[in-house]
Structure 1
Amino acid sequence: MDPITSSTKAQMDKVIEVLKNDLSTVRAGKASPALVENLVVNAYGGTQRLKVIELAQIAATDPQTIVITPYDLSIIGEIHKAILESNTGLTPVIDGQLIRISIPPLSEERRGELVHLVNQKLEGGKIQVRQTRHEAMNDVKKQLNDKAITEDDNVRLEKEIQRLTDETILQIETMGKQKEQELMVI
């Protein structure tokens, strides 16, 4: 694989990875640590901005409950506040030395909103993939103009870049269908 296609593949793989992480934060009616682990907490009086996963152990004790056990009990209130202020619709309750979050079942309206949100995230991923393709095609044209590659190499590279793009877009669409099915299961 030549440098342009390997670089393009690496960038497209990165888009897929970011999108997977992003989709994991969309709640699908069941408890998952991913729903809260990346929320940012203004810890220790606002002197540090850390993610919940850096401050506490997070576990899904059953399909409807997430339990957060802070490593340092002095920041339990700050974690609680960060979850409340995040736009996740989750309601944490401090229960002694831990925070308990009950995940209510999703309403039909909320499911529709989440499907719409997932589709927006997917479209953003597709746009990034297309931008990556555009940049790679420009690199190929530049090399052709600089006589660094032949016309045959140009055609081969353009086909390879398009194949990578098509595969990545298909992968994004498959991820979207899976997430949508997850959301629609009652």
Structure 2
Amino acid sequence: MAAYDKADLERRMAGSVEALKSDLGGLRTGRASISLLDPVTVEVYGSHMPLNTIATVSVPEPRMISVQVWDKSNVGPADKAIRSAGLGLNPIVDGTTLRLPIPDLTEDRRKELAKLAGKYAEGARIAARNVRRDGMDSLKVDEKKGVISEDERKRLETEVQKLTDATIADIDAAAAAKEKEILGK
């Protein structure tokens, strides 16, 4: 096991918050957002590519996403990929442009999405706690090896706990904001 590395713990905890924000960005809230299409991959040129590598994605109106496909031969595969992505979106093909009207969310669907946001947040909390556990374990190893004293270990454990608490507060804030956005409150 590696020695205690505060910068590594901070980086990994920040990573769990960023991963959560990315996951939450993909949840549909009834408003158009280009991040909604982030998980969509299109099969073109013999491989799977993210949609934003073959097209320009924009939001011309609050309830409409526009996908301007650069190569006309990729319009069909892009349309198919968006339809099969499970986002509940049905593109309207207009030349090389796909228009995606964002339908209203039903109350049940809003509750489902809010529950999913909570599940994502719990996954991020677990990731942060796992990072804390790794940090605590490396401190105990360092103490056994004589690298740090017992007092130093206790002081650093408090530091790790504060970092964990701050990270979980960030996770809770991001999840609460997304839930509020989804439920329209």
With the shorter chain as reference, the TM-score category is over 0.9
Match of 2:117 in 1: 118
For residues 1-186 of structure 1, the aligned pairs below 5 Å read 4-44=5-45, 47-185=46-184
Q: Which amino acid aligns with 2:29?
A: A
**8 Å contact kept, 2:128–2:167:** yes
Determine what percentage of the aligned residue pairs are the same residue.
Answer: 33
* 1:42 partner amino acid: E
Contact 1:5–1:160 at 8 Å: present in 2 too? no
Superimposed CA distance per residue, residues 68-90 of structure 1 (whole angstroms, 9 cap, x where no aligned partner): 00111110100111111111111
Structure 2 CA distance for aligned equivalents of residues 95 and 3 of structure 1: 57
Deviations 1:25-73 (A, max 9, x none): 10111001111133111113xx111000111000111011001001111
- 1:109 and 1:119 mapped to 2: Cα distance? 15
Moved over 2 A (4+): none
SS of residue matched to 1:132: helix
> d(CA) in 2 for partners of 1:172 and 1:136?
19
The separation in 2 between residues aligned to 1:159 and 1:38, in whole angstroms, is 38
| Farther-moved stretch of structure 1 (34-43 vs 22-31) | 34-43
In the alignment, the residues of structure 2 paired with residue 96 and residue 73 of structure 1 have an alpha-carbon distance, to the nearest angstrom, of 8
Q: Secondary structure at the match of 1:57?
A: strand
Which stretches in structure 1 are left out of the alignment for 5+ residues? none
Q: Which blocks of at least 5 consecutive residues in structure 2 are unaligned?
A: none
Displacement of 1:185 after TM fit? Answer: 1.2
Normalising by structure 2, what TM-score?
A: 0.95
Distance of 1:105 and 1:48 partners within structure 2: 33
How many residues are paired up?
Answer: 183
Q: Distance in 2 between matches of 1:162 and 1:71?
A: 49
Contact between 1:59 and 1:67, CA under 8 Å: does it hold in 2? yes
C-alpha contact 1:37 1:58 (8 A) present in aligned 2: no
CA RMSD of aligned residues (A): 1.3
**Structure-1-length-normalised TM-score:** 0.95
1-structure distance, mates of 2:96, 2:9? 48
Could you tell me how far 1:3 is from its partner in structure 2?
5.5
